[in-house]
Structure 1
Amino acid sequence: MKPGMIVTASMLSTIAAVIVLVVFQSLHTRTWGGDRAEPVTASHQTIQLTNDNLVDVLSSLHMSTPIARVEWKQSILTLDLKVKGTDTSYTEIYENMAAVVDLSFRSVDNVEQVLLRVMAEDEWVHRRHLLLAADIRRGEWPMYAIDMLRTWKSAAFSEDLKDWFNLMQTELWKKQFEMTS
C-alpha cells in the first residue's frame, strides 16, 4: 500500500468517526431532552412555607396522629401532635415526627426550626399532658437521622437522636411506653 493511500484512508476514517459522533450526539439530544433534561437524581422543587399555605402543606402529611395545634412564625414551625387513649404506639409517633421533620427540612426551604410536642389528651377531664418534646434545628443533624427516627424500634431514644433533635421525654412517656415495651 502506498503512503498516500494510508494517509487518505486514515483521514477518511477520522472524518467518518466525527460524523458518526455528531449524529449520535444529535440523536441523544433529541431523545433525552437535550439541555432541558435533568438527571434522575435531581431533587424536587422546594416550597416556601407561609401562613397562606400552612394548612395545605401540612395536610399533605397524612399522619395517624392528628395535629392539635400549629403555628408558623419567623421561620419557626411549632406543632403539637395529639395522642388519645393508649391505642397509639411509639413507632407511629416516630413515623409522624419523621414525616414532619422530612417535610420541614427536605420539602420546605424556609423552616429553620421545628418545635414539636407530643401531647396526651385525657378524655375524662379534657386536660393535655406533655409526653415528648423536640427542638429540631436545620443543619444540626445528619439527613439520615430522619430515616433513623422513622425506623426506630425502641421507646427509649438513642443518645444521638436525643442530641440531634434535642429530645426530651417526660415521666409520663416513660410510664406509657418504656415500661410497657
Structure 2
Amino acid sequence: MKPGMILTTSVLATVAAVFLLVAIQHLHIRTWGEDHVLPVTATKAPDELSDENLVDVLNSMHLTTPIARVEWKQSILKLDLKVIGTGTSYSEIYANMAAIAELSFRSLDNVEQVLLRVMAEDEWLHKQHLLLAADIRRNEWPMEAIDSLRNWNSPALSDELKAWFHIMETELWRKQFEMLNQG
C-alpha cells in the first residue's frame, strides 16, 4: 500500500469515528435528557382530579387499607376505608390518612376537601360500623401536619391533629385501638 493511501484511509477513518461519536452523544442526550435521567416507570401525578382519572390516581397511592367507597364531586373527595378483622393497626390507618391528604393537597390542585371515614366491617353480619371520620380541608393546617399524622405512634391523636383534620373518633375506635393498647 502506498503511503498516501494509508494517510488518506487513516484520516477518513478518524473523521468517520468523530462523526459516529458525535452522533452517539447526540442520541444519548435526546434519549436520556442529559443529567435528568428518570426510570421508565416514573409518572407524574396529574395536577387535577377528574372522573376520568379518579381510579388511576387513587390506585397510585398503594394504600394498605382498602377503599370501600369513593365519590368525587365539585372539589370534594369522599372516601371510605374498610377495616376487616383486627389485623389493621392504628398506625397503618394514620399512614393511609396521611397518604390521602398528601396526594389530595400537595399533588392535586382542585381538591378542596376530603371527607374520610374509616369503617369496620363485621365479617359475620356483613354490617359496617364507623370507627373514625375526618373532614380535611385545604389550608386549614400546617403542611408538616401530614408528616405528624403519618408518624404518629399512639392510638390517641393529639388535640392539635384532631382539630386540624377535624377528626372524630367513635367509642368503637377507642375500644378497638386505645383501650387495647392500654391493657
Specify the TM-score bucket, using the shorter chain as the normaliser.
Answer: 0.7 to 0.9
Q: Which residue of 2 aligns with 1:23?
A: none
Report whether the alignment pairs 1:112 with 2:108. Answer: no
Please tell me whether the aligned partners of residues 66 and 81 of structure 1 are also in contact (alpha carbons under 8 angstroms).
yes
Q: List per-residue Cα deviations over 1:14-64 (Å, max 9, x = no partner).
A: xxxxxxxxxxxxxxxxxxxxxxx99xxxxx775110011000000001011
Q: Which residue of 2 aligns with 1:124?
A: 124
Please tell me whether the aligned partners of residues 46 and 106 of structure 1 are also in contact (alpha carbons under 8 angstroms).
no
Equivalenced residue count is 140
Q: Which residue of 2 aligns with 1:60?
A: 60
Report whether the alignment pairs 1:166 with 2:157. Answer: no
Q: Which residue of 1 aligns with 2:93?
A: 93
TM-score, L = length of structure 2? 0.74
Q: Which residue of 1 aligns with 2:39?
A: none
Counterpart-to-counterpart distance in 1, 2:46 and 2:127: 37
Q: Which residue of 2 aligns with 1:82?
A: 82
Gaps of 5+ in 1: 1-36, 39-43
1:83 is displaced (CA, Å) by: 0.2
AA matched with 1:83:
V
Q: Which residue of 2 aligns with 1:71?
A: 71
SS in 2 for 1:179: helix
TM-score, L = length of structure 1? 0.75
Q: Could you say what the CA RMSD is over the residues aligned between the two structures, in angstroms? A: 1.5
Gaps of 5+ in 2: 1-34, 37-43
Q: List per-residue Cα deviations over 1:149-176 (Å, max 9, x = no partner).
A: 0000111110110100000000000000
Structure 1 residues 118 and 69: CA distance shift in structure 2, 3 A: same
Counterpart-to-counterpart distance in 2, 1:48 and 1:131: 30
Counterpart-to-counterpart distance in 2, 1:139 and 1:109: 12
Q: Which residue of 2 aligns with 1:149?
A: 149
Please tell me whether the aligned partners of residues 116 and 135 of structure 1 are also in contact (alpha carbons under 8 angstroms).
yes
Q: Which residue of 2 aligns with 1:175?
A: 175
Which runs of at least 4 in structure 1 moved beyond 6 Å after TM superposition?
none
Q: Which residue of 2 aligns with 1:5?
A: none
Counterpart-to-counterpart distance in 2, 1:45 and 1:130: 31
Counterpart-to-counterpart distance in 2, 1:95 and 1:45: 19
